[in-house]
Amino acid sequence: MNDSDVYASPAHKEALLNALAERAAELGYSHASLEDVCGLAQGHVGKVFGPSRSKGLGFDTFYLLLPALGLKFILATDRDALHRYAERGLKRNGNQARVGNLAQQQVSKRIISRVQRYFGLRSAAARKRKIAQDAIEVNGRRAGAANGKANTAERAAVAR
């Protein structure tokens, strides 16, 4: 990567937004054309780049806009920052690390199980969906009759 390849080196979010908006203007793209090419909702780019900045630049929008603007995201070493922060003692203390911590795996299994239950992949409701609809209706009528919600004639019909 040459210095001539670097389009901008924004130090904060506002500078990043300004650089992206300037690049879009430099290429002659309208907000509507960027939205169309990137698959964003109508008005989204205007809310991100506009003067009110009513929407923030999220990761998804950022990574959709970059190729459309002919840019890519690269992490580079900042030697000045390394020297500034090296003095603060940000080194990792290996004695405080959890080596072989299985709690994360157990949490993951538990969360997956809950998600599957929530979406009905492992629930009683999923098994009931396999039963024919008319069988579910008959069961419902029997339950209503048992609870005393049906009259005597209906109870006799259900009992057959």
Tens of pLDDT, residues 138-148: 666 565 555 55
What is the CB neighbour count within 10 angstroms for residue 31?
19
What letter represents residue 99's amino acid? V
pLDDT of residue 149 exceeding 60, the answer is: no
Domain with CATH 1.10.260 in the chain: 3-68
Residues in the chain: 160
Rg of the chain's alpha carbons, rounded to an integer? 30
Is residue 57 a contact partner of residue 16, using CB atoms and an 8 Å limit? Answer: yes
Predicted TM-score (pTM) of the model is 0.53
Whole-number Å distance between alpha carbons of 111 and 114? 5
Q: Evaluate if residue 18 carries a pLDDT over 80.
A: yes
> What is the rounded average pLDDT of the residues 1-13?
77
On whether the CB atoms of residues 69 and 23 are closer than 8 A, the answer is: yes
Average pLDDT over residues 91-108: 65
Fold of 3-68: 434 Repressor (Amino-terminal Domain) (1.10.260)
34-43, 55-64, 106-115: the lowest-pLDDT one: 106-115
